[in-house]
Every structure is written in C-alpha cells, then in structure tokens.
Structure 1
C-alpha cells in the first residue's frame, strides 16, 4: 500500500476507513471544530502522540508515549488491525499526519495512509468541511506485542554520524542546522556529522509530495552508497522527521530509522555542536 492517498480516492469514504485529524500547533482543537473532513476524529500531537515532557534532555520535546497508552488511544478511535486508517493535518502531513502514520507502522499496522496535501488538498478540491464533532465507536485497545520498532537512541545516533557506512539526516531548515537561528530549542546548530536535507524539499508548490521517482533521486543523492537500514532521520523533536521517513517509503526506500529525541534532546546534553553544512 502506498503511504499516500489522494483526495479523490474512493477509499477515503470506505466502510472500513477511519479518518484522523492530527493537526498540531496553537488552538488545534478549535481549528478542528472550525472545519475538518466529515467523520474525522481528532487527535492532539502533544497530548495523544507524545508522552508528557518532564525533562526534554531525556527523550526530547515529543517523546513517544508508552505503547500501551497508544494502544488504548487506538481503541478509543475505533482502530483495529483490520482498519484502513487515513490521517491528515494542516501542514502537508509534516506534523501529526506523518507522525501518526509512523507510529502505526512502528507497531506493525501497515494499512495506514496520509492524505497527500493535507487538509488544504480537500479545500482546494472544493470539499465542504464539517463542524460536527465526530466520536468514533470505541473498541478494545489495539493488540500490541512489542514497543515501537525502528528507533535509535542518542548514543547510536552520535556514533552513526561519524560512520562512513551510515548517515544521519537532519530535516530541519538550513538556518537552524547551520546555527544561524534557533526559534525553539536552547542551542542552535546540529549534530556533528549529520547531513542536512530539509523536509520541505519533499514537497511541490501545492504542498504535495513530489513524484516518487523525483524523491528517490533526492534521497539517493544524499544517501549515496549507505544501505537503507543504515539511515537515521531526525529533526527538532521527532515529528517532521517522520515526513521524510514517509517520503522515503513512498520512494521505495525502506528500513530508515527515527531518532525520536532529535535536536531537542541532543542540544540539552552538553554535547558537541556543528554549524558547518554537510
């Protein structure tokens, strides 16, 4: 299954499809109330797709929740192993959309797609938005047998950044990577040895993913001879990195891993900081 689905795909209204609105930022629930796709249930990136932050130096600003809590959330959303899940946000999938996709994939649920272009794609297509709060019929917690797969920790990331057989990709904007500005975290710069490939490069002018073959060339040029399983992707807090992980999957590159703590964790550990672009 493609990780992306288009707004005109009839599967969006399939009997087994569960729509999830996973936007992030300020006043997210109010923005959901102001207009969302019909029958889309709301999830909050900070409250539902991340654990409470007690110390960002341990796990970053968006640490993964306990897998049992995530399983309970999926049950409340009516999601079972047979469900076709379609998720979107209002940032072209770069916030809660891709994060929710990645989290489902990481527990083994493969029948999940992100709406290409996000909520804006629906608006552009003339689809009327709903203001009705949709509450899905709950089911038992999703059956999970293990934790989130496909992650690496801070120690492995630091080693990989200096390993010729691996690559660490930082998807933040180049000025943040180069240490010119840092609007969120305490220190500007990047993990020494990390390669900068901003997630925005995944998108066209309409906020949709570039064609798979175009993305494949973009990623191949960056990865070079590194095996796909040797790729680690990070961002500021493990959210927009999922946008590139989705793009890689769409382009036929599987096996890359997520450093969840990302720069928000690394920058709070008194570790070396780079400012020269690689």
Structure 2
C-alpha cells in the first residue's frame, strides 16, 4: 500500500528511487528541488477526459507523462510538493488507480520547505531516459460511485467523510457526512503527518475508526487523496474513494444538507 516515509529514509534510499516533484514547473526550476527529482507538475495530470473518471487523466495521457519522466512499471516512487503533501498524494493515488504497485508508492512526510531545512537541494535537472510506461489498471480499486456514497450514510458499518474545511461543509455537504478537514492530520510545525497516536485521536473524535468502512469525498478528489494515503498508512483496511466528489454529486442534482 502507499505509505508515508521520512526525509531521512528518502535520503538513505535515494539511489533506488524515482523522486517526483509535483510543484509548478517554475518552482522546480527557480527554487531548486530534491536531488535527482523529476518535474511532473500537478496540472499535467489533473486534466480529466472523456475516457476517464472525475479528474483522472486518460490512460494514454498518464502513460505518456510517466514515460517522459523516466518512470517504468517497476519504479519505486516518492512524491512531494510544498503544500503538506496534498498535491503529491494526488499523484500517488492516481498512480495506484491506474495500476502502479501501491507497495512502490511513497509520500514524503513533510514537503519541500521542511526538506530543505535539513537536507541538500539541487538546481540541476537530471538526465532522464524515457521509458515505455504501460498503464494497466487493476481489476478492483477503491473507487465508488454516487449510489454507494448515498447508501454509506445509512450504513452503521460505514462512515462518510467530508475532507473540506468547515465553511465549505457548512455551505452544503452530502447528507450524513462527518467533517474532517484534511489539514487536521497535518502538523503545522513539521509540515508532515501528526504523530501516530495524535492522528488516531483526531480521527476517533470524528467517528473515523479502523473497524468501519470509510468513504471519502471533497470537491474534486484532491484533498481526499491526502486523507486516503494517511488512513492507509495508519492501517485502515477499507477506505473508499469517491472520485466524482461534490462536483459529480451536484451535477447529478443530488441533495445537500447544511446543518451539522
């Protein structure tokens, strides 16, 4: 499964990793990056297309992007950004949904700002040999549709989770959803994940426990990507991912509620 790894682990294993920087291209060029990192800007894989779900890229787009970045099917990937990992998590979830081995996917604990405090950066763009990346989505994924989401609110064994902020939630959320702003799981000082026990306490306070099936949504599936990676890292076994999120829900003219 996709996990979260420390800066020290990345530094110790850098020779066997393909490190992916998902910040804007100008940030990669002008502000330096992790040594050996390749640039795959967030906007380059957030296109959405007629032959994919939600904001996912098409198989062809994804394959071309990873091929150009020198990624092969057996590459072990670490992704990072400069926003507490939320954009990098979206890259990793996209990779998982489109068939990359989840065990070979890692999110840097922290982000570029925290990395550069204690580790070297580079202004050099590494030489990359293009690959022929083959996209092979798995038969089963954590993706669920709007009907499954609607039913989750009435299932005692499930918890429907809105990962947006409190003001967005108050303006309108899927009936029965609990609020968990994804940033509640982030330590503002380290810019990485809260300590394990602290993270589990935050989740339990929101009614999110490992014994339940967890169904996640936000607006466009970016923020739930971070929460998905965190929950899987913490050992939650059944975490479902509503790729369509509120964008699709509202397009289908489904109901919203505003009370807590």
Output the TM-score relative to the length of structure 2: 0.87
Counterparts of 2:119 and 2:157 in 1: how far apart (Å)?
48
Deviation by residue 1:61-119 (Cα, 9 ceiling, x = unmatched): xx212234323332322222332211001101012x00112222332412111111111
SS in 2 for 1:87: strand
Aligned to 1:44: 41
Greater fraction helix: 2
2:68 to 73, 76, 89: 76
Determine the structure 2 residue equivalent to 1:182. Answer: none
Aligned residue among 83, 91, 97 for 1:91: 83
Aligned-residue CA RMSD (Å): 2.6
1:5 matched to 2:5: yes
Deviations 1:216-255 (A, max 9, x none): 2332443457744x21111111011011111112211122
Scaled by the length of structure 1, the TM-score of the pair is 0.82
Partner of 1:20: 20
Partner residue, 1:105: 96
1:225 and 1:241 mapped to 2: Cα distance?
Answer: 16
Q: Confirm or deny: 8 A CA contact 1:67 1:147 kept in the other structure.
A: no
Tell me, in whole angstroms, the C-alpha distance in 2 between the residues paired with 1:81 and 1:53. Answer: 25
Checking the alignment, whether the CA contact within 8 Å between 1:213 and 1:251 is kept in structure 2 is no
Give the whole-Å Cα distance in 1 for the aligned partners of 2:14 and 2:140.
Answer: 28
Contact 1:237 1:263 in 2 (8 A): yes
| CA drift at 1:53 | 8.1
Q: Is the CA contact 1:50–1:64 (under 8 Å) kept in the aligned structure 2?
A: yes
Structure 2: give runs of 5+ residues left out of the alignment: none
Q: Distance in 2 between matches of 1:53 and 1:194?
A: 29
1:165 aligns with 2:157: yes
Stretch of structure 1 that moved more, 168-177 or 67-76: 67-76
Q: Give the CA deviation at 1:4.
A: 1.4
More moved, 237-246 vs 145-154: 145-154
Is the 8 Å Cα contact of residues 172 and 236 (structure 1) preserved in structure 2?
yes
Hey, which bits of structure 1, 4+ residues long, moved more than 6 A?
A: none
**1:198 and 2:181 are equivalent in the alignment:** yes
Q: Which runs of 5+ in 1 are unaligned?
A: 180-188
Displacement of 1:148 after TM fit? 7.2
